[in-house]
With several copies, the nearest count.
Chain A
Amino acid sequence: MSEDTKPARPGGASPDTAEAPSAPGTTAKAPTGRRIPLPKPSSVLLSLCSAALGLLVWIGLTKSGIEDLPGPWAVAKRGAELVEDGTLFDDMGASLRRVLTGYLLGVALAIPVGFAMGWYPIVRRLIDPWIQFFRMVPPLAIIPLAILTMGIDEKPKVFVIFLAAFLSSVVSTYQGVVSVDSTLVNAARVLGAKDRQVFIGVVVPASTPFILVGMRIGLGASWATVVAAELIAAQSGLGFRMQQAQLYYDLPTIFVQLIAIGAIGLVMDRLLLLAERRLTGWQERR
């Protein structure tokens, strides 16, 4: 008796993972054909390098004689001022609230709509052209419409962000549903699962990776729309402050807001990435 046929024995627990047996471990090698792997620099170090690289490019641009372009120092000084008088955090709070609300609503709607589009071809063919159509329409063009229908409070601002998040994540969601392996659906059906159970038990978990990619795309779209949204009678917010700084051609302030938006967005993106890793750990990866 070989122990292989009795994998229940102690010590045989984890190693039986070779899914692609003809090339196990090749992924450990860089595809460049290098045979001795370089010592892998730590991820923190690389992040620092990346940040330093960006800073260097910036300083380079400043020095290269582009007039008016504020350097890191000027921007940091202005940033400190804005932190001191509290506006920066107020603005962050205001924008974050809007973006989160719009984004979460957008994703919350995108998921059922994406599922419906993926599940019922008729729905897909009726709605898809409109989704693609509105994906092309600039958020700036939506503003008059949003004011007409929703006034000038938080609603239209959140709506503009919501729309951006919705449009960009719905596509990914329905592509996820369309690409669910039909064998899995069949496997559930032969076990007696009805439509609803197939949907909840198979389609939803199987499309989670796509939904999460869609959520990341939607996040970018939401933040990229915040300036447009805050054109509508905003009292505070990073986008509003940026607009105001443009009135006075105050480039350091613009840079502070720009960096704040990028940084918050980046942090949120990394959080989503973490969630993705966690929720889709069951996937086989390269």
Chain B
Amino acid sequence: GDDDSSSGDRKVTFGYIGDYSGSAALAVAAKQDLWSKQGLKPDLKVFTNGPLQVQALGTKNLDFGYLGPGALWLPATGKAKIVSVNMLGQADRVIARPGSGIAKPADLKGKKIAVPAGTSGDMILNLALRETGLKPSDVSVVPMDPSTVVTAFGSGSVDAAAIWYPLIDNIKKRVPDLVEVTRTEDFYPRLTFPNVFVTQPELAAKDPELVRKVTAVLRAANDWIVANPTESEKITAAFLKLPAAQLAGSTKYVKLLPSAELTKLTQDGTVNGWFDNLADIFVQMDKMPKRDAAKDYYLGDLYAGAGGVPKQ
């Protein structure tokens, strides 16, 4: 609903990914007309993955974007700055086929596991292995496309998979009695998988006011979602032109935190801890050589400050 806003509004290009967590805040912001309240006019661009958005941030074609937890190494290497935490993903699972003899992470040893490389699925598998003292070389990891995992697991080409909902719902149609070996919640609050909104590295310094305004929009949208989770699923489905059924129940697999609580967690350093923990995993996974400290790339102060702006 930004089309009817006044022409003096500041234009903001915003990237997102066409799934529930990647779109919900923007769908709600559009529906509730939160943008014009901040004098902003969003130009939304849908992407299929995080790295492409970061690339577009680098070429100044995007002002803001959305990253899943698997792409958090990008801000951790200075390629983008995080402006806010969106939701905490709890959809990721390590699942195993019935009869594969896998019931707990330790049973994964020597098994064939399908993983979409560089995603949160990749990470939860790594965590699960580490918890039990297994090395990646102790299992046979088969990297593949997310939708490939569905088929591969369904057809029994692999023993286990590290994947997420709602794709697991698809798998369940064919393998109803699959075993959930590990789930994201198992690691909370030590570790969680936040998905975030990011911006160009320079923009925060050059135009903090803009970043603050955008953050305010995101906070407002987030709080609306926290209050109306089911409604938000419908709005998002409409926004993505998907059948409502496809997103129904999405909120089951995310943890929604009110912005007040997120502010608190930011101020007490918990959020920085999440990011640093994840960054350490990335380093251990050889995704990057060394990490920046979370305080260098998470704009926590701006986030906290955005909460103080009175709604117009």
Contacts and interface: CB of A to CB of B under 8 A. Distances in A.
Chains A, B in direct contact (C-beta < 8 Å): yes
A148 B55 contact: yes
A152 B51 contact: no
Interface string A136-151: 0000000110011001
Given A67-B59, A233-B52, A248 B151 contact: no
A250 interface: yes
A233 B147 contact: no
- Give the contact-size bracket for chain B: 35 or more
Interface in B55-84: 55-56, 58-59, 61-62, 73-74, 79
Contacts of B44: 235
A235 B142 contact: yes
A232 interface: yes
Given A247-B49, A249-B150, A234 B59 contact: no
B174 A67 contact: yes
A249 B45 contact: no
Given A240-B46, A244-B118, A232 B59 contact: no
Name the prevailing secondary structure of the B interface residues.
mixed
A147 B174 CA distance: 15
B241 interface: yes
A181 interface: no
Contacts of B241: 85, 87
B117 A144 contact: no
Contact of B114 (A87, A233, A246, A249): A233
B145 A143 contact: yes
A233 B246 CA distance: 22
Contacts of B155: 67, 151
A68 interface: yes
A257 interface: no
A152 B157 contact: yes
A151 B143 contact: no
A243 interface: yes
Contacts of B54: 249
A248 B52 contact: no
A247 B56 contact: no
Contacts of A244: 18, 117-118, 240, 242
Nearest to B49: A247
B59 to A, nearest CB: 6
- Most A C-beta atoms less than 10 A away, residue of B18, B19, B58, B145: B145
A272 interface: no
A148 B157 CA distance: 11
B52 A232 contact: yes
Contacts of B139: none
Nearest to A151: B61
Given A144-B151, A147-B152, A231-B48, A152 B79 contact: no
Contact of B56 (A85, A147, A234): A147
Interface in A118-170: 143-144, 147-148, 151-153
A249 B19 contact: no
B146 interface: yes
A233 B118 CA distance: 13
Contact of A147 (B61, B74, B242): B61
B105 interface: no
Contacts of B49: 247
Contacts of B267: none
B51 A246 contact: yes
Interface string A219-237: 0000000000001111100
B154 interface: yes
B143 A235 contact: yes
Interface string B145-163: 1111011101101100000
B61 A152 contact: yes
Contacts of A231: 48, 52, 144-145, 148
Contacts of A232: 52, 144-145, 148
Contacts of A67: 58-59, 154-155, 174
Contact of A246 (B45, B147, B288): B147
Contact of A152 (B151, B167, B240): B151
A241 to B, nearest CB: 8
B237 to A, nearest CB: 11
Contacts of B157: 151-153
B42 interface: no
B15 interface: yes
A121 B242 CA distance: 45
Interface of A: 67-68, 81, 85, 87, 143-144, 147-148, 151-153, 231-235, 240, 243-244, 246-250
24 contacts: A67-B58, A144-B52, A147-B148, A151-B59, A151-B152, A152-B59, A152-B62, A152-B142, A152-B148, A152-B157, A152-B158, A231-B148, A232-B144, A233-B15, A233-B52, A233-B142, A233-B152, A240-B46, A246-B145, A248-B19, A248-B51, A248-B288, A249-B167, A250-B246
Given A144-B151, A249-B170, 19 more contacts: A67-B154, A143-B145, A147-B59, A151-B61, A151-B155, A152-B59, A152-B61, A152-B114, A152-B142, A232-B145, A233-B152, A234-B143, A235-B142, A244-B118, A247-B117, A248-B73, A248-B246, A249-B74, A249-B147
Interface pairs A-B: 6 shortest CB-CB = A233-B144, A151-B61, A233-B45, A247-B118, A147-B151, A152-B61
